[in-house]
Chain A
Amino acid sequence: MKQLSTTPAVHALHPAEKPGVLVKPGAEPVLKATNITKWFGENHVLRGASITVWPGETVCILGRSGSGKSTFLRSLNFLEDPTDGTVEIDGVIVGADPFHKEGSERQDRIREVRMRAGMVFQEFNLFPHLSVIENCVEAPIHVKGIPRKEAEAIAEKYLAKVGLLEKRDEYPSRLSGGQRQRVAIARALTMQPKVLLFDEPTSALDPTLVGEVLKVMADLAHEGRTMIVVTHEMDFAHEAADRVYYMDQGEFAEVGPPEQVIDAPKDPRTKEFLSRFRTLGAKK
């Protein structure tokens, strides 16, 4: 068993991941994921993907469906437990430990990671039996132990930010898809996470409702939230991302600023992927 145990790989920065001018000198990355590897049975889904995200950065992960980008994102908060690799968020380090996944000390650290990484799902996953405000304060009260009054004040601030404060006592079933996703964003923000993970947040939405969600996300990006966004929205990636990762078959084929990866891709796989968007008449 010894020779099988995972070895913590040394985290190496991709040349394009040098901290930008807006990152304070001496700041540590908010999130470092090193050599994330995932096997589903015989299926090698992630082949050692690494990422570094500095405070205030928004990065987008692009890639065709089945490339592993969602699995990668879900590995960052251990909704998928990776087979190998290490995740460090805000100083909390959790390594893959496929032989002792359920160890209670490890599960505690995974919860620490999750409290620092807010997640927004493709299917919203609001709690249908709870009102909008209750959806937002449930975890702050019952996970972080924040007093209800305080939690509600925080939640109301973020509901106002996503433009849905007047819906605070509605139930999710009475909201449109776009409103539900904005509530889901407010719910994630009420935990006051260090980084937000978005898993194709607009893919389940009616096309007319995509804009209101992207607008909220762009606002968050511009005010300096740290965000990792798995998306097919090229315009959003181009406009809001500090850096774009193109994933192909479980590894990052190309990393760089959007002007490079989207406008002038070097890797033939990125080129091929993007050419299909251009033929559909996307801007740029």
Chain B
Amino acid sequence: MNTTEAPPLTRKDFQSDQEVRWCPGCGDYAILSAVQQVFPELGIPREKFVIVSGIGCSSRFPYYMNTYGFHSIHGRAPAVATGIKMTRPDLDVWVVTGDGDALSIGGNHLIHTLRRNVNLKILLFNNRVYGLTKGQYSPTSELGKRTKSTPHGSVDFPFNPLNIAIGAGATFVARSVDIFMPHLKAVLKRAAAHKGSAFVEVMQNCNIYNDKAFAALTDKTGRQQNGLYLEHGKPLVFGDNKDKGLRFTGTDFEVIELGNGKSEDDCLVWDEEHANPSLAFQMASISTGDGLGDFPVPLGVLRAVDAPTYDAGVIDQIDELTTTRPQTLDQLIHGTDTWTVDAGGNVHRGAN
């Protein structure tokens, strides 16, 4: 190193000059703050970050980050981001999306991006409602939910975003909560370090249209009682005093009370690297995420496996063929079969 080190980046370096216009009390503020705290710690120059979003409250995110940013169209952020990453592998590309943007209008792009394992980080802010269009139910809204578009209660079955991601073959799947700052930052760092599509669901409170949707998980008692903090290689224990655990019966998860002859040894040891995604799928399925069911809400990394990325595969082919099959533009234009007409009007096969 012979150049003078640039001063380390700080949170402030990632704050844009634009006034943040989310509703006061919106969970998005906390997520923005977490991202602005994590980015300077990643060791990546600011100009190498690109944040791509679709449409919705969450998708205003790029305007508030002093990086390159692209506020695209509804549901299409993964497609725009794929085009960026395929052609600019040097960039660190993040997608910010919401439950309507990613799972409804943009469902197709999300699953195919995850299937391809494009090296993108995808943050899905799940508030289980359409906020920007002022309060309709979303594809993650619970059955029976009364909204402007479902005045008699929703009869529309919701998605579990984690299961969509795992089912689509995502190589990194995690979940955190807007206001669980240390946990959220840790999950974001894990996502940033993953090579391939990293899918992070962030439970996010919409205090205007769906307030307290995750209160059973996020209130003071809920955090410990209803949060299951997954850690690779650690047994699945939870509860106020780590007094509960999850056992795997072979077909299902089961909550056990620890003590009385049952210990951590009876709990499943979490393996986020398990090759078969079905265990992660089953883990994601134990809770709808609101903390109201019989099971705790899994948080942290559900799945993290190594796999080749699509963008690298594409670039490798181009690099290899550029080396092994050099051809000039002139050769390309000529093709294989040419004929030449000379000044006298005579025709012969081939070029001059």
Q: Tell me, yes or no, whether A binds B.
A: no
Interface residues, chain A, with chain B CB atoms under 8 Å away: none
Interface residues, chain B, with chain A CB atoms under 8 Å away: none
